[in-house]
Structure 1
């Protein structure tokens, strides 16, 4: 190769900053530029509103798909400061969220990514009787926030139109959005979220998702496909974070049904972890410990017989385990497996104690559960 031919040096390196990086490398931020990536954009836009509800600042979230291809996400919170850097409580301004990439990694994308991947975005804040509006085009503010007149109520609405230069003709699936928002509502019983689709004339769809029973309601929902219940009552509990640093909040619900196989859904900080992890390991270990202890105490297992294994105990089990931790550790190529080691012991102990007490307090249902599991060990 002759000197000067194909020479590559620092002058050839292109440093992309801010939303330019998002627009030129969308796959790095949303995974793809097809329907899946578009769906991630909608989830990200909803994350902020959902966080407002979970923090107690708002009561409800509304997501609407419009006939013109837009997506509206509204909450009834106090309204973010639209232009100031921070408010008195230290909350980020909406301008910051829409234009500044934090550089951190998380399950949810950033609202700035939504702005960067939209042909148009409008931010509206209603607070103190005034409606403020600011419009962006492909991530760039058209003008400063405008006082659009008086208003009743409070809240924030972000409306955006995904850029067809990036996503082409991709159209987000209502059912896929519904599945995700339903999961969020199940694992956060204080959440009230609605999803409405006005894209097809005369065929609008709307679902309101609110489940005060939390993960117990989730097990009931999953049980619709799991066969006849072995016991009528869903077993479930919630434990808040312990004052001890690093301990997780835990929510667990389970029920055995007359069907083969095991159905366990797990979540960490409200996001699904299909790869499992330490919370699932703790769940299985805790269930096995409680069932075997009860079987021994009731002499349902002979002294010479080994303990029931987790595989046998899982036959017909439908369960949900959801944890919330301060420092999330994820593993695997898809980062879909929880790695926090302390969570395993935390979940195992909580499940062992609660389920053990429940079995003792409900002897008839306990006999049906444990008797079925014990008999199953003798089936060829």
Structure 2
């Protein structure tokens, strides 16, 4: 057996020779391995192609020669990107003998961003963006306005040629004639004097991209809005002509225009969702560094040379009273979602500055011997970190991580210098904000330490050893989180009824007195000082904020059981605000519910042998329908009907039957499909800014049903 295997291996080795190697020329490599260049062949890859063309247009704006970019999603599935920049060069490139348009769209690693002086800083770096899009398109048309003429060139799957389009319009199915002897950049019209720019329209190749892949309108809006913040003064227009269901343009062509002159300061304000502790602070600076790069000499040979680069740093940041962190980082205009050396330098500077400031003010802030950690500083931080430099080094064509090592030290130095000036400023407003910020960081540090100690000492208490839990908690016997339920009950009167109605084996009760603190407005410290909030967090047993650990939650379900009136709805909203703000993973996991107690109890009169029935209804409309049906059937109803104003008005068996018994009750699961939308709603309804809430109430007043008001 050993001999046979050895022979087989020897044979396989001898058969593998140079003739088995494949050399892919030009754009063949892109079509063979598209994932290497655009990440995937689904909608994400489709959008990546669009970003490549948009970023080329925006690079013109970064160079100061373009102020408008238009993106059109056509009904036939194609997309067009136009700009009023300088226009793609139309003259002949000497080394290849091809026009600039053909070089850009057919040659990998070719373009104006390799240090030729055309762009000081740009998003395009590898010279493959436009050519990759061309290779992955069944058709691409490029028009250039330059020198008073309109030039045009078309490609089919990367090959230049001419399409014979019908009167109905252009498309990839039109008859195509490739250029045989030489390519031709056709002049198709005249451009107005002084008008320059480029327009690129392409049809993604169905042979490459999956059948269900399509352009994501919402994703496009997010990216374009982001770009408008990063390039102040640039106007970006999105026009959707597809009429797709579920999009803003389903009823007809839809257009949105984005322009933000406030830059990343405005971007930071847009991203922030919590009430501010500080204003938006802008930290700016630049420094030079040298790096060894290969460059072309006069003879066209690659040689290594020391090149001096300038790195510009621009950071906008503010702290809010929440604990979530939003740090967005960019190199030129390219989003780097996975960070890189610029983010490392930013975080390094934050640690250094805050540790020094807390050490200096240790006695006043009562820091003690505890050490601040990165998460304590990042809590509530919203920041946009941008760097501008020529030819940054990225990890891969998708450009998600910056690798230029010198940037770390430059960003760290700029942030350290500028932020220290802010925190040590003698101006009244800056001084007050700095004090409030340092107090917040210390509070976060102490909360983290307390949570860790609590986690280390915590163990599931039984009814006999629950001394560390609030005395008003009526715990259950089971210790299995998959079975147990915690009912948060409004008031002691409801607690008495619920105690008799529950199954003590797996249902625990925690009463609260009236309306708890509105934590959307309050600070972390105030929340922890509030007896009701502290009791809820302690009973749930999984910590709060950043330290919340879903696996430590003592109950599988948390059920908010409040009265079926306006006050009950308000208390439920306050409780949901607490869970959303400080125990969000519990909501995201679908483990928070609202009980649905009935509003009415209808008892029918017994007639003959037929016994009287008990019917519970949960709304005025349902009650009216039920009464009408019973009257229609000739059934009499005992008067007066019982209208429950509160849970305490029910008997224990009624509460168990309608609201607590898993076999018969109805629960509403609290879900959070869109965290950003939920954040905006909570901030509108529960935040400290009164004016937007007043406007919302006034604008929604006509939707109010007067009959639903308890008066």
- Provide TM-score, normalisation by structure 2: 0.48
Please point out which of 177, 191, 202 is paired with 2:220. Answer: 177
Specify the alignment match of 1:156 in structure 2.
198
**Structure 2: tracts of 5 or more residues without a match:** 1-7, 115-123, 163-183, 244-249, 291-307, 451-711
Specify the alignment match of 2:185 in structure 1.
145
Specify the alignment match of 2:136 in structure 1.
117
SS of corresponding position for 1:338 = coil
Contact between 2:324 and 2:380, CA under 8 Å: does it hold in 1? Answer: yes
SS of corresponding position for 1:253 = strand
Per the alignment, do residues 309 and 165 of structure 1 end up closer, same or farther by CA in structure 2, a change over 3 Å counting? closer
Please point out which of 183, 207, 215 is paired with 1:165. Answer: 207
Structure showing greater Rg: 2
CA RMSD for the aligned pairs? Answer: 3.2
Per the alignment, do residues 284 and 5 of structure 1 end up closer, same or farther by CA in structure 2, a change over 3 Å counting? closer
Per the alignment, do residues 366 and 344 of structure 1 end up closer, same or farther by CA in structure 2, a change over 3 Å counting? same
Contact between 1:268 and 1:324, CA under 8 Å: does it hold in 2? Answer: yes
Contact between 1:76 and 1:156, CA under 8 Å: does it hold in 2? Answer: yes
Per the alignment, do residues 148 and 308 of structure 1 end up closer, same or farther by CA in structure 2, a change over 3 Å counting? same
Q: How far does residue 293 in structure 1 lie from its aligned partner after superposition?
A: 4.1
SS of corresponding position for 1:164 = coil
Per the alignment, do residues 342 and 149 of structure 1 end up closer, same or farther by CA in structure 2, a change over 3 Å counting? closer
User: Are positions 1:51 and 2:51 aligned together?
Assistant: no
Structural mapping, 1:16-55, within 5 Å: 16-55=24-63
Q: How far does residue 307 in structure 1 lie from its aligned partner after superposition?
A: 5.5
Distance (Å, rounded) in 2 between the aligned partners of 1:147 and 1:331: 40
Per the alignment, do residues 108 and 318 of structure 1 end up closer, same or farther by CA in structure 2, a change over 3 Å counting? farther
Q: How far does residue 65 in structure 1 lie from its aligned partner after superposition?
A: 0.8
Specify the alignment match of 1:321 in structure 2.
385
Q: How many residues align?
A: 373
User: Are positions 1:98 and 2:105 aligned together?
Assistant: yes
Per the alignment, do residues 332 and 374 of structure 1 end up closer, same or farther by CA in structure 2, a change over 3 Å counting? farther
Per the alignment, do residues 212 and 85 of structure 1 end up closer, same or farther by CA in structure 2, a change over 3 Å counting? same
Contact between 1:30 and 1:109, CA under 8 Å: does it hold in 2? Answer: no
Contact between 1:247 and 1:343, CA under 8 Å: does it hold in 2? Answer: no
Contact between 2:69 and 2:236, CA under 8 Å: does it hold in 1? Answer: yes
Please point out which of 297, 308, 320 is paired with 2:372. Answer: 308
User: Are positions 1:353 and 2:400 aligned together?
Assistant: no
Per the alignment, do residues 107 and 192 of structure 1 end up closer, same or farther by CA in structure 2, a change over 3 Å counting? farther
- Provide TM-score, normalisation by structure 1: 0.86
Contact between 1:47 and 1:108, CA under 8 Å: does it hold in 2? Answer: no
38-47 vs 183-192, which deviates more? 183-192
Q: How far does residue 291 in structure 1 lie from its aligned partner after superposition?
A: 3.5
User: Are positions 1:365 and 2:405 aligned together?
Assistant: no
Q: How far does residue 345 in structure 1 lie from its aligned partner after superposition?
A: 2.2
Per the alignment, do residues 377 and 117 of structure 1 end up closer, same or farther by CA in structure 2, a change over 3 Å counting? closer
Distance (Å, rounded) in 1 between the aligned partners of 2:388 and 2:232: 14
Contact between 1:283 and 1:348, CA under 8 Å: does it hold in 2? Answer: yes
Per the alignment, do residues 116 and 368 of structure 1 end up closer, same or farther by CA in structure 2, a change over 3 Å counting? same
Distance (Å, rounded) in 2 between the aligned partners of 1:139 and 1:219: 41
Please point out which of 51, 63, 69 is paired with 2:71. Answer: 63
168-177 vs 267-276, which deviates more? 267-276
SS of corresponding position for 1:254 = strand
Q: How far does residue 223 in structure 1 lie from its aligned partner after superposition?
A: 0.4
Distance (Å, rounded) in 1 between the aligned partners of 2:14 and 2:252: 58
Contact between 1:250 and 1:347, CA under 8 Å: does it hold in 2? Answer: yes
Per the alignment, do residues 374 and 327 of structure 1 end up closer, same or farther by CA in structure 2, a change over 3 Å counting? same
User: Are positions 1:222 and 2:271 aligned together?
Assistant: yes
SS of corresponding position for 2:379 = coil
Contact between 1:83 and 1:95, CA under 8 Å: does it hold in 2? Answer: no
